[in-house]
């Protein structure tokens, strides 16, 4: 039996894989093998995930370390970005054949977006073999103010059923933070539109003054409508991102009507 592993699709040194073997033995028709091993990469990165992060509309830049991941010494022949977003800057050899520092930047993007670009290396190892290596670089063009979670807030049946069963209010929250360490702001208020203002209450918690806030949404009473849906608007002191709106939804299972005569 031969087992092959595609090392191009695997990151990390220590690998564990499971293989199920089938046989014609009636007493033991199948059994599982656990295969463990180590993969030595030609170049390793620190951190493992390459990511440039900053505000949308601004250049992104960062510095990353690369080191030889095997006993083979490495000569870097060329480094280039395969897309249009990456700009490869200066590379410094920290330790001959073993360690390098690479400056990378990315062109600005007008709107917030998470993009991926490929960074390609052409190298020659000390065994005389020329190799091509690729690394994924994430480009995180962030909004000035970021909500976590980004999705709309949903109070589903499983959530509202707890309110019906115990009478205890149900709460969910949104973390509001600056998209970059240079952004300072305050959450100054929260508005609920008329469709949900009677169903939900809100409060603001200061997590880190000028940097991070949590907006709590509380449901205290079970509603008579099957679905309640409306917008919540978070007001801030930021001169550019003054308001952020999200949808708030609540589901309320109604008792079945008796249609018998």
User: If you search the block for the tokens 């480094």, which residue do you land on?
Assistant: 79
Question: 96, 118, 142 — which closes off a domain?
Answer: 142
**Whether 150 and 241 share a structural domain:** yes
Are residues 163 and 237 located together in one domain of the fold?
yes
Which of 150, 176, 180 lies closest to 247, judged by CA?
150
Is residue 29 scored above 60 in pLDDT? yes
With contact defined as beta carbons under 8 Å apart, do 179 and 167 qualify? no
Distance CA(186)–CA(206), nearest Å, equals 9
Q: pLDDT tens, 92-106?
A: 999 999 999 999 999
**Residue 192 pLDDT class (50, 70, 90 cuts):** very high
In a domain, 178, yes or no: yes
* Rounded mean pLDDT, 35-58: 87
Per-residue pLDDT at 89 exceeds 90: yes
Write down the H helix ranges in the chain.
157-166
Q: Region 111-131: what's the mean pLDDT?
A: 95
- The pLDDT assigned to 48 comes to 78
**pLDDT exceeds cutoff 80 at 150:** yes
For residue 188, what pLDDT band results from cuts at 50, 70 and 90?
A: very high
* pLDDT in the model for residue 11: 58
Domain boundary among 106, 122, 142: 142
In this structure, the answer to whether residues 216 and 172 fall within a common structural domain is yes
Q: Give me the DSSP letters along 70-111.
A: SSS-EEEEEEEESSSSEEEEEEEEEETTTEEEEEEEE---SS
- Residue 128 covered by a domain: yes
| pLDDT classification of 235: cutoffs 50, 70, 90 | very high
CA end-to-end span of the chain: 72
Has residue 3 been placed in a domain?
no
| pLDDT mean over 158-163 | 88
Question: Could you identify the residue written with the tokens 């249609």?
Answer: 259
Contacts of 225 (CB under 8 A, 6+ apart): 252
**Residue in 250, 253, 195, 189 with CA at minimum distance from that of residue 218:** 250
Domains of the chain: total? 2
On whether the CB atoms of residues 135 and 84 are closer than 8 A, the answer is: no
Structural domain of residue 221, as residue ranges?
145-251
CATH of the domain at 236: 2.60.40.10
Give domain status of residue 18, yes or no. no
The rounded mean pLDDT for the chain is: 90
Q: Considering the domain boundaries, does residue 109 fall inside one?
A: yes
The verdict on residue 8 lying in a domain is no
Same domain, 169 and 136: no
Question: Which of 120, 142, 164 is at the close of a domain?
Answer: 142
153 and 90 assigned to the same domain: no
pLDDT over 60 at 168, yes or no: yes
Average of per-residue pLDDT across 230-257: 90
Is the domain of 203 the same as that of 132?
Answer: no
Same domain, yes or no, for 217 and 228? yes
Confirm whether 12 is domain-assigned. no
């Amino acid at each position: 039996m031969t087992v092959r592993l595609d090392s191009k699709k695997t990151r990390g040194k220590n690998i564990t894989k499971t293989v199920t073997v089938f046989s014609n033995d009636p007493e033991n028709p199948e059994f599982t093998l656990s295969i463990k091993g180590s993969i030595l990469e030609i170049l390793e990165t620190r951190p493992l995930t390459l990511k440039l992060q900053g505000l949308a509309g601004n250049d992104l830049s960062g510095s990353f370390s690369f080191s030889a991941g095997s006993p083979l010494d490495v000569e870097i022949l060329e480094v280039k970005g395969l897309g249009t977003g990456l700009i490869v800057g200066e590379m410094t050899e920290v330790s001959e054949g073993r360690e390098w520092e690479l400056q990378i930047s990315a062109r600005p993007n007008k709107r917030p977006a998470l993009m991926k670009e490929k960074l390609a290396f052409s190298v020659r190892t000390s065994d005389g073999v020329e190799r091509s290596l690729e690394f994924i670089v994430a480009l995180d063009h962030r909004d000035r103010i970021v909500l976590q979670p980004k999705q709309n807030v949903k109070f589903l049946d499983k959530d509202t059923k707890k309110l019906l069963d115990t009478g205890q209010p149900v709460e969910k929250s949104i973390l509001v933070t600056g998209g970059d360490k240079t952004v300072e702001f305050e959450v100054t208020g929260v508005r609920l539109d008329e469709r949900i203002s009677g169903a939900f209450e809100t409060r603001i918690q200061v997590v880190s003054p000028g940097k991070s806030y949590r907006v709590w949404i509380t449901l205290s009473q079970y509603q008579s409508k099957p679905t309640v849906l409306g917008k919540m608007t978070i007001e801030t002191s930021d001169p550019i991102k003054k308001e952020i709106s999200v949808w708030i939804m609540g589901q309320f299972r109604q008792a079945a009507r008796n249609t018998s005569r």
